[in-house]
Amino acid sequence: MARLVPVADPADPRLADYTRLRDVNLRKSLEAEHGLFIAEGEKVIRRALATGHPARSFLMADRWVEPLADALDAADAPVYVAADAVVEAVAGFPVHRGALASLRRLPLPDVASVVAEARRLLVLEDLVDHANVGAIFRCAAALGVDAVVLSRRCADPLYRRAVKVSMGAVFAVPYARMAHRRDGLDTLRKAGFTLLALTPDASAVPLTAAPSGERVALLLGSEGDGLTSHWLAEADAPVRIPMDAGALASGVDSLNVVAAAAIACYALVSGT
Amino acid sequence: MARLVPVADPADPRLADYTRLRDVNLRKSLEAEHGLFIAEGEKVIRRALATGHPARSFLMADRWVEPLADALDAADAPVYVAADAVVEAVAGFPVHRGALASLRRLPLPDVASVVAEARRLLVLEDLVDHANVGAIFRCAAALGVDAVVLSRRCADPLYRRAVKVSMGAVFAVPYARMAHRRDGLDTLRKAGFTLLALTPDASAVPLTAAPSGERVALLLGSEGDGLTSHWLAEADAPVRIPMDAGALASGVDSLNVVAAAAIACYALVSGT
C-alpha cells in the first residue's frame, strides 16, 4: 500500500527535493548532488516509473492520490500529501497538473553503447533551452530516431520542463552525453555513422539529396547560432532544409530549432 | 524627424495602447476596439512598417531610439521615450527587447482573394495558443506555403506573442479568416483545392502517399484534440505523419502541433 504522509509545513525538510522548481541554478546543483529528477503529472510519472526509475518520494494534493493509486502502491517511497498552497509554496509556482514525483537518476550509458544498435541518430550541440530539448526528444521518439547524443554543455533532458514538454519521451529514447566533442564524434565515425550537419547555409546539400547510408547521425546546433564551426568542420556533409526563395527575400530566413529538428527527423527516418 | 516625447507617468493616457500586454482578455477587446496591434523588438517593428502597417505610436527606452532612427523618422507617429521601469509598469512585464510599436491593423482580405493565387495552403482549426500560431506562420513562410486560412475561433496572428514568435512571418504570409467552416471550405473546393486533413489516426494515408494536385490545402487541428469530426468529414482525405511503431507502443503517440505543422509544410511543399 502507498505510504501516505500528510504534510502541512512548506519548510518540512522531507520536501526538500521539490524546492523552487523554476530556479534553474538551484535545481542543477540540487539534482546533481542528490542524483534525482522531478516528474510532473500522472502520465509522465507513470512513464518514469515504468522505465525503471526508482521513486524517492511523491508530493501531491489528495485529489491526485486515487488516479495514481496503483503506481503509488507499487513504489517503495513515501507519498507526501499536502494542500495546493503548500505544494505551491515549496515548488514556487502553482503546480497545475498536481502530482509531482522525485525519482532517482540512472547511470547514463556511454556514447559507444547507446549508438551500438542505432541506425538513425540525433546529436545536439549545446542547446540551452530545456523546452526545446524536450520537444526534440518528443519528435525523435515519435518519428523513430533510435538514439540521441548530447554535447557536454547541452541542456539536461531530465530537467523538469524538458521531461514535461517531451511528454515522457526522454524515457523512451536512449541517450548519452559526450565528454569531448572530438572523442564523441570519433566514436560515431568509428561505428560507421555518416555525420550530417544541419545548417541554414544556402550552399549546403538539400536534405532530400543528403548522402544516406546504413547509419546516419544528424548534428543539430543551438537555438541562436546553429552549429559552431568546429562541429561543421567535423561533419561529412552540411545539409539544409530547402527554404522558400520569397521568404528569404523578405527576411524570414530560418525555422526555430524544434521545427527544424522535426523536419530533419522526418527526412532522416523516411528517406531511408 | 522622429517626434520624441518623454513620458514619466505610466498612467499617461497617451500610453493606453500598451496597457497590460499579457492580459489576453483586455488586449483582445482593446485591440479590436481600436484596430491596433503591438510589435516588439527592432526586427519585427521594421517588418510591420515595411509591410504597410501605419504606426499609431512607439514606446521605448532611449537606448532603442538610435537603432530605429531611420524607421522612426519615416513614420508619422509620436515616439514616447520612457525609463524601463515606466515601460514595465505600463506593459505589465519587463520588455527585454525594448522597443514597442502600436500599429494599425489593415482590413483582412476575404478567403477567396487570399487563395486566388495560392497553390499550397494551411488551414488552421481553432488553435488557441498564440505562440503556436506564430510558430506555424514562421514555418509556412520559411518553407513556402502560399497562404493561411484561419477558422473563425483560431487565435489572432497579430496578437503580440504570435507576432514575436513568428519573427514577423505573420506579415509575410497572406491570411484570411473564415466566417463559417462550411462556406470557407466550400470556397477552397470551388477554387480547386484538394483538402487534406492531418490526423494521428493510423488508418489515414501517410503524407508521402497523400493525393497531390495542382492546389492542395492542409487542414490542421487544435493543440489538444486535433481536427474535430466536422472538419475531418469535409476533407477529401485524412493524412498522417508516419509514426514509429515502437514509440506508439511506449505511449509517445503524437507530435506537438508546431512539429506536426513543420513536417506537414515540408512535405506539402517539397512533395510537389
Q: What is the reported pLDDT for B216? A: 95
**CATH class, range A111-270:** alpha beta
CB contact under 8 A, A138 and B259: yes
CB contact under 8 A, B262 and A267: no
Q: Which of A47, A143, A163, A164 is the best substitution to test chain B (most B C-beta atoms within 10 A)? A: A143
B254: chain A residues, CB-CB within 8 Å: 142
CB contact under 8 A, A172 and B247: yes
Q: Is A243 exposed, middle or buried (0-12, 13-18, 19+ CB in 10 A)?
A: buried
User: At residue A128, does pLDDT exceed 50?
Assistant: yes
Report the mean per-residue pLDDT for chain A. 92
User: At residue A246, does pLDDT exceed 80?
Assistant: no
Q: Can you tell me the distance from the alpha carbon of A87 to that of A80, in angstroms, rounded to the nearest whole number?
A: 10
B241: chain A residues, CB-CB within 8 Å: 142-143, 266
Q: What is the reported pLDDT for B249? A: 67
Query: What is the mean predicted confidence (pLDDT) over B210-235?
Result: 90
User: At residue A225, does pLDDT exceed 70?
Assistant: yes
Question: What superfamily in CATH does domain B3-104 come from?
Answer: Ribosomal protein L30/S12 (3.30.1330.30)
Read off the pLDDT of residues A63-90 as tens digits, 9 standing for 90 and up. 999 999 999 999 999 999 999 999 999 9
Using a pLDDT cut of 70, give the percent of chain A over it.
97
A139: chain B residues, CB-CB within 8 Å: 255, 259
Read off the pLDDT of residues B165-205 as tens digits, 9 standing for 90 and up. 999 999 999 999 999 999 999 999 999 999 999 998 889 99
Q: Which of A47, A242, A266 is nearest residue B251 as measured by Cβ atoms?
A: A47
Q: How crowded is the C-beta side of A259, counted as CA atoms within 13 Å?
A: 28
Q: Structural domain boundaries of chain B?
A: 3-104, 111-270
Min Cα separation B155/chain A (Å): 20
B245: chain A residues, CB-CB within 8 Å: 144
User: How large is the angle between the packed helices B257-270 and B130-143, nearest 10 degrees?
Assistant: 20
DSSP state of A110: P
With CA atoms as reference, the chain B residue closest to A255 would be B139
**Residue A222: phi, psi to the nearest 5?**
-75, 170
Q: What is the reported pLDDT for B153? A: 93
CB contact under 8 A, A247 and B167: no
B167: chain A residues, CB-CB within 8 Å: 252
Query: What is the mean predicted confidence (pLDDT) over B6-33?
Result: 93
Q: Is A253 exposed, middle or buried (0-12, 13-18, 19+ CB in 10 A)?
A: middle
Q: What is the residue-wise DSSP string for B162-190?
A: HHHHTTTGGGTS-EEE-SSHHHHHHHHHH
ipTM of the complex: 0.86
Min Cα separation B232/chain A (Å): 22
